[in-house]
Structure 1
């Protein structure tokens, strides 16, 4: 289903950005910059919801929450549409 695939791709970008950030990828790299820009666009609404003392935990929460929500909503809608 298209909705499920879109949700999966969005969550994959967010998860990839979390991984690249935690592994301290080079932000000057074009690919890393692209992933960061896409992740920022997908997670604009959840930025700075959590205030933590460690930056790694903040990134994990700020980008992980939208990833989980996109997966849950996307798969939920796809399941609901399949029943019709």
Structure 2
């Protein structure tokens, strides 16, 4: 059983890292948006494009009057889901 865990440990780590990186990119976009970063900057554009792709299912889920609230809640929800689900799956794989 211990050798099984050794084999699944890299997979679990990979799943957790991918989930954490996805959440970090979305978090970066939220921060850049809230700080009113220059939209002509390449980092801002790339983080927005990747975040929009990652949060396709949630970025326009909420209809708050304030745009900043829609961004924080819509993209923030995606980041939280990636963190929670990714790490939950990684823990399950690690136990397998």
TM range (shorter): over 0.9
Matched, 1:82 2:63: no
- Unaligned runs of at least 5 residues, structure 1: none
Normalised by the length of structure 2, the TM-score is 0.86
Structure 2 Cα separation of the partners of residues 45 and 7 of structure 1: 16
Question: 1:32-84, CA deviations, whole angstroms, 9 ceiling, x for partnerless residues?
Answer: 10110000010011121100011111100110000000001000000001111
Matched, 1:58 2:67: no
Structure 1 Cα separation of the partners of residues 49 and 59 of structure 2: 13
2:36 alignment partner in structure 1:
24
2:47 alignment partner in structure 1:
35
Structure 1 Cα separation of the partners of residues 38 and 74 of structure 2: 20
- How many residues were matched structurally? 84
Query: Which secondary structure state, in structure 2, belongs to the residue aligned with residue 4 of structure 1?
Result: helix
Normalised by the length of structure 1, the TM-score is 0.97
- Unaligned runs of at least 5 residues, structure 2: 1-12
The runs of 4+ residues in structure 1 deviating greater than 2 Å are none
Structure 2 Cα separation of the partners of residues 56 and 47 of structure 1: 12
